[in-house]
Chains A and B, each alone.
Chain A
Amino acid sequence: MTCDEAGELLDAFIDGELPGEQLLDVARHAGGCAVCDATVRKLSAVRHSLAGSLDAEAASLDLAGVWSAVSSGMAREDARRTSIRRWRAAPAWAAGLAMAAGAMLWLSTPPAHEVQRVAAARPRPNQTVIDRLDSDSARLELRRERKYGTTLIMVSAEGDGQ
């Protein structure tokens, strides 16, 4: 085995990820090669330093509050699941009732299409649009003044004066 061949396998070698035969080949090569042996030692030293430093820092972290924070999150999740379950378990008649109430509400609303149609027509220059009339009994009268080109709109309700 050459140094190049061994070099490609050194990481897997120190990680114990090589199959038996290859593991022995690399071990034999490194045993007789000062350069590869030094690389194995350096890689192992890096590993120990890294693991040691992070383990020590993780060990110094105060994790006492983790469970209480997690259990609060779990309680919220349980509450959410319960409300979803309740909603799904609602009887069919409740859904029917909700639909009927919606339909009633829709039917009891006076049609607004006329008002909308009038309002949708935008006045042209020198024109006006009556947006809505609140009274059903209102009378509308238009009086045109030909001389000046103006129009007078007279609106009156029952019993009212003009």
Chain B
Amino acid sequence: MADSDWELVQRTRAGRQEAFRELVERYQRRIAALALGMLRGREDALDVVQETFTKAYQNLERFKGDSSFYTWIYRIAFNLCVDHQRRETKEAQVPLEPDERGETIVLPQPDGVPQDQPFDRARDSQIAERLREAISELTPDHRAVILLREVDGLSYAEISEVLQCPKGTVMSRLHYARRQLQARLQGLL
């Protein structure tokens, strides 16, 4: 049976680095999905993943276990994403065009659908493109709410903990963000 997050935290505090490695491997892909959604750039997302765990290790003594480890680490990742965006905004002289933001997202094929379907692929890439645009137009707070819910599957209470805002605010931001995305995908879904 796998060790709980709390057990791994305790072992890390006792000087066992391999315990922290297990935590990194457990959450790195989920943090990467959040960072990709928040920042779009793959390199930036990787930076945030690394910085998140380094910062978590530096501050591990402060983690008291009042919240779950993953909501705590999501909070660190979210703050780092916001910092990155602030830096980018300061540095950016010209806004990026949508096709400069990174590679095309490849949507997974639904079960039972043949892999080589040009029309389906074209439609999926169109959906991905529109989703990318719609997400980038949301504010960081709205973006974080929808990513934490839809991609990471956090509950309203957990999102409220990560973003340090009331549950009602989480619900209203989620409602707004979904309607924005829905409007963008009109006619495609």
Q: Which residues of A contact B (CB under 8 A)?
A: 11-12, 15, 17, 42-43, 45-47, 49-61, 63, 65-67, 69-71, 73-74, 77
Asked if B150 and A51 make an inter-chain contact with CB atoms under 8 angstroms apart, the answer reads yes
Please tell me if the beta carbons of A67 and B189 are within 8 angstroms of each other in the complex: no
Chain B count of residues within 8 A CB distance of the other chain: 45
B residues contacting A by CB (< 8 A) are: 17, 20-21, 24-25, 28-30, 32-33, 36-37, 42, 45-46, 49-50, 53-54, 57-58, 105-108, 127-128, 131-132, 135, 146-147, 149-151, 155-156, 171, 174-175, 178, 181-182, 185, 189
* Bound complex: CA A52 to CA B128 (Å): 9
Closest to A55 in B: B33
Question: Among A17, A58, A67, which residue has its beta carbon within 8 angstroms of that of B33?
Answer: A58
Contacts of B108 in A (CB 8 A): 52, 55-56
Interface centre among A58, A61, A63, A69 (most CB of B within 10 A): A58
A46-B189 in contact given A63-B49, A66-B49, A67-B24 (Cβ < 8 Å) = yes
Query: Are A70 and B155 in contact, with the CB atoms below 8 A?
Result: no
B107 touches A73 (CB 8 A): no
* A54, B107: Cβ atoms closer than 8 Å: no
* Central interface residue in A47, A53, A56, by most chain B CB within 10 Å: A53
Contacts of B105 in A (CB 8 A): 53-54, 56-57
Interface of B is mostly: helix
Contacts of B132 in A (CB 8 A): 53
Question: Contact: A74 with B20, CB < 8 Å?
Answer: yes
Known: A11-B171, A49-B128. 17 other contacts (CB 8 A): A15-B174, A46-B178, A46-B182, A46-B185, A47-B150, A47-B178, A54-B36, A55-B151, A56-B106, A56-B108, A57-B36, A59-B29, A61-B46, A66-B50, A70-B57, A73-B53, A73-B57
The answer to whether B36 touches A49 (Cβ under 8 A) is no
Distance in angstroms from A50 CB to nearest chain B CB is 5
Residues on B with beta carbons closer than 8 Å to the beta carbon of A12: 156, 171
A61 and B32 contacting across the interface, CB-CB below 8 Å: yes
Q: Name the A residues within 8 Å of B49 (CB-CB).
A: 63, 66
Contacts of A51 in B (CB 8 A): 150-151
Closest 4 CB pairs of A and B: A73-B54, A58-B33, A45-B189, A69-B50
Give the residues in chain A near B36, CB-CB below 8 Å. 54, 57-58, 61
Contact assessment for B178 and A77 in the assembled complex, using a CB-CB cutoff below 8 Å: no
Given A67-B25, A69-B50, A73-B50, do A50 and B150 touch, yes or no (CB 8 Å)?
Answer: yes
Given A15-B156, A42-B182, A63-B29, A70–B53 Cβ distance below 8 Å? Answer: yes
- CA separation between A67 and B18, bound complex, in Å? 10
Task: List the B side residues contacting A43 at CB < 8 Å.
Answer: 178, 182
A53: B residues at CB distance < 8 A: 105, 107, 127-128, 131-132
Q: How near does chain B come to A37, taking the closest CB pair, in angstroms?
A: 14
